[in-house]
Structure 1
Amino acid sequence: MTSTPPRQDHETLWDLIKDIKFGMLTHRHGDGSLQSHPLTTQNQSIDENSTLYFFISKKGEMASSLGHDANVNVAYADTSDDNYVSIAGKATLSDDQATTERLFNTFTKAWFPGGVNDPDLQLVEVKITHAEYWNAKDSKVTQLFKMAKSAVTGDRPKDMSEHKEVPVS
């Protein structure tokens, strides 16, 4: 694996997720089960360290779980354009005040009324270790035509989307 993905892969990942309001962050619960939570990605772009940022409650179960098992997945879905992204990473509970101040915004204040110094505010950094995406290349009409043709011919649809794995370390 390379230490960073090619710049184009970074840009494609960001282009696919930047307009999706929520990512579903999946973590391991204390009882061993997997649980997902909708969280807003706070980034303005994917930085050179391949890190995504989220805000959570320090008092919530997720903060406790992430402290015990840092392995997470963040899934993004843009069903209107048939684009999907799955990101595996390592989550860290961070006390980086400069990053918190840089990322904090009006919408975050709705959940943390004390602002950047709210005692319940916790920054989560997810260092991307692997990403995978499915990016539809055709219009919905073309996709439906290909599926209908496949139903008639019995052949699997071809070239429905670009699928790529983006290893990151």
Structure 2
Amino acid sequence: MSKDKTPHEKLWDMIKDIRFGMLTHRHADGGLHAHPLTTQNQALGEQGILYFFVSKATELGQRLQADGNVNVSYSDTHKDVYVSITGRAVVSNDRSAKERLFNPMTKAWFPGGVDDPDLELIEVHVVHAEYWSVKESKPTQLFKMAAAAVSGERPKMGEHKEVSV
């Protein structure tokens, strides 16, 4: 990634090819619940908002209206990229956003299109992100872990950073 990229661009580069994010929220009983959701964005704009379509039947939107503090995590085990995003979720009635984001795959879940009575748009306003990215090949990783096990020192692999958005 270029050093000239904004935090939004760096974050988007890491998650853009990961189809599903796990959105974790607080349930009414106080426990944490996670849902796999498809990120609808084509980019992460300067406002730093992630978009998800959900079903009103799940009551997820109601839970987020009660407590919008969420975490969205992404992982790509093939590329060894892991991202954790802290944000504030809101239910959006923005019709133009629904029209812009709606696609043929979404129609499988919401056959009525943007007017489907079960369709709900969730906006997650990114507050903070943290990522781990391992650039070393698998054999190099194994070698470093073996060397660390012998030496008693932690292996030094990859990159771990926090991004303020």
Task: Report the TM-score when normalising by structure 1.
Answer: 0.92
User: Mapping of 1:22-33 within 5 angstroms?
Assistant: 22-33=20-31
Aligned to 2:70: 72
User: Mapping of 1:1-169 within 5 angstroms?
Assistant: 7-158=5-156, 160-168=157-165
Superposition deviation, residue 9 in structure 1: 2.5
Structure-2 separation of matches of 1:11 and 1:126: 16
Q: Which runs of 5+ in 1 are unaligned?
A: 1-5
Deviating above 3 A after TM superposition, structure 1's stretches of 4 or more consecutive aligned residues are none
Letter in 2 for 1:10: H
Structure-1 separation of matches of 2:70 and 2:119: 20
Letter in 1 for 2:105: F
Q: Which runs of 5+ in 2 are unaligned?
A: none
Q: Secondary structure at the match of 2:121?
A: strand
Letter in 2 for 1:162: E
Structure-2 separation of matches of 1:126 and 1:40: 13
CA RMSD of aligned residues (A): 1.1
User: Any idea what the Cα deviations from partners look like across 1:27-81, whole Å, max 9, x if unmatched?
Assistant: 1111111000000000001011000000001232211110100000000000111
Superposition deviation, residue 129 in structure 1: 0.5
Letter in 1 for 2:160: H
Q: Is the 8 A contact 2:73 2:85 kept in 1?
A: yes
Superposition deviation, residue 15 in structure 1: 1.2
Aligned-residue identity in percent = 64
Structure-2 separation of matches of 1:50 and 1:154: 41
